[in-house]
Amino acid sequence: MAFQKKISFEVTLYDSLSELNEDDNVLMSAAVSARKRAYAPYSNFFVGASVLLENNEIIEGNNQENASYPSGLCAERVAIFYAGAKFPGVQIKAMAISAAALNHEVCEPAAPCGNCRQAISEYEFKQAKPIRILLMGETGGVIECDSVADLLPLGFNSSYLE
């Protein structure tokens, strides 16, 4: 017998960066700093990401585009892959993401693309512990998600390959 099931999640909304605790503010500031160094000459959409590790290291990444667009990498994957390469086995506590555009102000938080959600989900599944996500545009409020699973319900992971 078929039935319907509603899948939903809750987020915390902050009106501005000033409402974040000190640690989250530092993490988002690192994402903003990384965003300002992004290489995005084709999309003119600049994204920075920062990852807070269990050892309190903060790893930054930004989008890196390529003339063979879209073969570049998004900020989220640059940051999370670098964290995995530099600190293998160290768990990820949180990730902050900030986006801006050249030709208009990004006032709303931009969520990770599907590829990035899947990559973050892989690390979350591997460590068996949620990764908190903070999202912000260039200005405006901040969205906090308790887990990437909130952004990618019914996600695919290695358990399906066993």
Active site residue 76: yes
CA–CA separation, 43 and 136 (whole Å):
19
- What pLDDT does residue 85 have? 97
Catalytic, out of 60, 76, 124, 144: 76
Is the confidence at residue 84, as pLDDT, over 80? yes
Backbone dihedral region of 53: left (phi > 0), alpha (psi from -120 to 50 degrees) or beta?
beta
What is the amino acid identity at position 122?
A: E
The pLDDT, as a whole number, for residue 5 is 85
Per-residue confidence band for 98, with pLDDT thresholds at 50, 70 and 90: very high
As a whole number, mean pLDDT of residues 12-22 equals 95
Q: Is the pTM value of this prediction over 0.75?
A: yes
What's the CA gap between 138 and 149, in Å, rounded? Answer: 24
**Helix pair angle (75-86, 22-35), 10° resolution:** 110
In this predicted structure, the answer to whether residue 69 has a pLDDT above a threshold of 80 is no
Identify whether the C-beta of residue 99 lies closer than 8 Å to the C-beta of residue 38.
no
The pLDDT score that the predictor gives to residue 14 is 96
